């Protein structure tokens, strides 16, 4: 689950970069969490499709990272490194999603987008650390 979280975080960054690179894609959905007032918007416009895929992959990342946290708390409690790092990692992700919403509310203000980029990197880094620590737990 931790590995899926890291892979999915990486995919979210790739799609986020595409949103950034395609003119108008970052502001094509002016609302959040809905897009143009719909859970599933009209995807005929490629810019809406790209922005929507970014949100979907971000949601998937959230699912994997929350599942990692739940699994760590239920079944790996003696491994305090995994539990603590999963909590920190999920906290970074929640902040990142909030800043993602703020990129919409601020009409892609460059300061907010730059923070979003930096936190995206932090999300991937923390997810990778959780995955690596889970793969190689401490020996007692
Ligand atoms: C796992 C969560 C997320 C990650 C890792 C992530 C990552 C990224 C990255 C790396 C970029 C490119 C930034 C740049 O090149 O300057 C980006 C762009 C963007 N993200 Fe996210 N993102 C996440 C969640 C969200 C969410 C939940 C939203 C809310 C709708 C969102 C909205 C946006 C928008 C609108 C842009 C384009 C900004 C622009 O065009 O200037 N992101 N994201």
Q: How remote is the CA of residue 115 from the centroid of ligand 1, in Å?
A: 10
As a whole number of angstroms, the distance between CA 12 and CA 76 comes to 27
Instruction: Indicate if the pLDDT at residue 140 is higher than 70.
Output: no
Q: How remote is the CA of residue 89 from the centroid of ligand 1, in Å?
A: 17
Q: Supply the residue whose CA is at minimum distance from atom 18 of ligand 1.
A: 16
Cα separations in angstroms, 15 against 11, 12, 51, 56, 134 = 6, 5, 8, 10, 26
- Position 36 scores a pLDDT of 94
As a whole number of angstroms, the distance between CA 16 and CA 119 comes to 12
As a whole number of angstroms, the distance between CA 140 and CA 134 comes to 15
For 33-71, write each residue's pLDDT tens digit. 999 999 999 999 999 999 999 999 999 999 999 999 999
SS3 call for 136 = coil
Interacting residues of 86 by C-beta distance below 8 A, sequence separation 6+: 2, 65, 68, 69, 72, 73, 130
Atom of ligand 1 nearest to the CA of 120: 5
Q: Supply the residue whose CA is at minimum distance from atom 16 of ligand 1.
A: 117
For 20-29, write each residue's pLDDT tens digit. 999 999 999 9
Atom of ligand 1 nearest to the CA of 19: 37
pTM of the prediction? Answer: 0.93
For 71-111, write each residue's pLDDT tens digit. 999 999 999 999 999 999 999 999 999 999 999 999 999 99
pLDDT tier at 136, thresholds 50, 70, 90: confident
């Amino acid at each position: 689950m931790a590995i899926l979280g890291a892979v999915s975080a990486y995919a979210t960054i790739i799609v986020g970069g595409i949103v950034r690179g395609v003119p108008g894609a970052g502001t094509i959905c002016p609302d959040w969490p809905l897009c143009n007032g719909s859970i599933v918007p009209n995807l005929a416009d490629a810019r809406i499709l790209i922005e929507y895929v970014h949100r979907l992959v971000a949601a998937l990342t959230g699912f994997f990272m929350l599942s990692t946290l739940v699994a760590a708390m239920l079944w790996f409690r003696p491994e305090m490194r995994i539990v603590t790092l999963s909590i920190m990692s999920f906290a970074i992700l929640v902040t990142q999603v909030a800043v993602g919403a703020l990129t919409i509310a601020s009409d892609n203000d460059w300061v907010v987008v730059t923070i979003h980029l930096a936190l995206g990197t932090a999300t991937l880094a923390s997810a990778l650390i959780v995955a690596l620590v889970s793969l190689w737990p401490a020996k007692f």
